A and B are shown apart, each in its own frame.
Chain A
């Protein structure tokens, strides 16, 4: 039930998107997210959505899978929308009832924010869904490498990010397991109202963290026993190489982000 979150999960497929260089994908992601914040028309958002749909199609990842990934943030999205609708002022009055008024600016800003959040999540989850954690680390590390000169430990930073990324699904999986273990012995997570249910989640937290750390520990042990000792002196089976299609992808996305921000 908690396995729907997409961030930090990877789905192996044999697609063009999967084959792109991890560094290029990271740069494109940053580029597109930046562009997203410059868009200020519904046309722009619509165009962006079309682009995202096209990439999803190319990546061979099921559309439903991406949509399901949005479910956990639905609450946040709704809250944003409601707050903006009721509290952002300006523009003509659309609707009024006693002291509650909805004004045009509120509605529009609300809808913009919602589109922004949803598209942002879709795009970043596409990055992690199509890039294996190892490639992602390598990409981040390689991009950060110039910073080494200024004494920033790029390899360790990158490894930490990967482990954090790996940790999210682990944490969710673990929560799922402990919930099942407690349910199997009579705990109740399913009945009652929201307050009651949230309260029942409390006994889950301590064991969750204990066991997530233990899982991380197990994994660290397995990695250590295979000579992992930080990025120093590590070689790669697949050395990152920027190919023609990477340049093409980069070029297209630069064009697209300029285009879309002026819409």
Chain B
């Protein structure tokens, strides 16, 4: 699966003609882990919906697996099954009366046997860390914010997509839920070879797993590079309403005090090693 955007520009019909995306060119290859960041309103969610054909861009081409989906008469259904999208607001994704029915909706459209559907629902709920028996008959609208989020993610996982786009999936999740989800994404990416596109406002999540970071600003691609390179542009990143992962920020502060530490480190383990090797241990502080 390969996605290619060529000169994509998008204008929402009823706005005052402001271009939400401006001339975006991207190529997404198999088994990448892409972090997509940008200020609020920079066009991330719009881009996500263009990538799986929910929005047809005003101009430009979207080519998926060699097929240009902006042309007429393309079967978008097959494409959307391969490219799963977890929406930004979980309540926009849920529509059925029970959690079971909601998650079964996608597999149902794949024309699977009822038994297979049940297996998929069960698996999906387990993957996001919800108990099948406890939740299957509850109304998705009477769940806590974080629980709704998990059900929405399960609904997309149940379709077993080849590309998984997640629009701020960890917003509203507690730290454990967040850790589980990130672990899950890591497995899907490393073991199943899935392409993951992760939109998030938490820089540490982006930095941790991404092989490539795309930064949007007012609808334009500002950076498209490895996380190390992107987060090295400290000034530019801050100007774009973004920040650094906290751990990187700490290393930057230490560096400013005149210690020669590396600043392209995004994990606590890495930072500990770096600090231990570069800083003297003081007895008194």
Question: A211: which B residues are within 8 A, CB to CB?
Answer: 91, 95, 141
Q: Indicate whether A222 reaches chain B with its CB closer than 8 angstroms.
A: no
Q: Indicate whether B126 reaches chain A with its CB closer than 8 angstroms.
A: no
- Interface of B toward A, CB cutoff 8 Å: 13-14, 49, 52, 54, 75-77, 80-81, 84-85, 87, 91-97, 105-106, 109-110, 141, 155-156, 159
A210 and B80 in contact, given A178-B95, A181-B93, A187-B109 (Cβ under 8 angstroms): no
B80 touches A191 (CB 8 A): no
B156 touches A185 (CB 8 A): yes
B141 touches A214 (CB 8 A): yes
Contacts A185-B109, A186-B77 known; list 11 others, CB within 8 Å: A182-B105, A183-B77, A184-B52, A184-B80, A184-B156, A185-B81, A185-B105, A186-B109, A186-B110, A187-B109, A191-B75
- Pairs A-B, 10 closest by C-beta atoms: A186-B109, A207-B95, A185-B106, A177-B92, A181-B93, A184-B85, A178-B95, A186-B81, A188-B77, A180-B54
- Interface of A toward B, CB cutoff 8 Å: 3-4, 65, 68, 177-178, 180-188, 190-191, 206-207, 210-211, 214
A185 touches B80 (CB 8 A): yes
Question: B159: which A residues are within 8 A, CB to CB?
Answer: 185-186
Question: A180: which B residues are within 8 A, CB to CB?
Answer: 49, 54, 87, 92
| 21 chain-A/chain-B pairs, Cβ below 8 angstroms | A68-B13, A177-B92, A180-B54, A181-B87, A182-B105, A183-B54, A183-B80, A184-B52, A184-B87, A184-B156, A185-B105, A185-B109, A185-B155, A186-B77, A186-B81, A187-B77, A187-B109, A190-B76, A210-B95, A210-B97, A214-B91
Question: A206: which B residues are within 8 A, CB to CB?
Answer: 97
Nearest-neighbor residue (CB-CB) of B141 within chain A: A214
| Contact residues of A: prevailing secondary structure | helix
CA distance A178 to B141 in the complex (A): 14
Question: B80: which A residues are within 8 A, CB to CB?
Answer: 183-186
Minimum C-beta distance from A207 to chain B (A): 4
Question: B93: which A residues are within 8 A, CB to CB?
Answer: 181, 184
CA distance A215 to B87 in the complex (A): 17
CA distance A132 to B93 in the complex (A): 30
CA distance A68 to B15 in the complex (A): 13
Nearest-neighbor residue (CB-CB) of B94 within chain A: A181
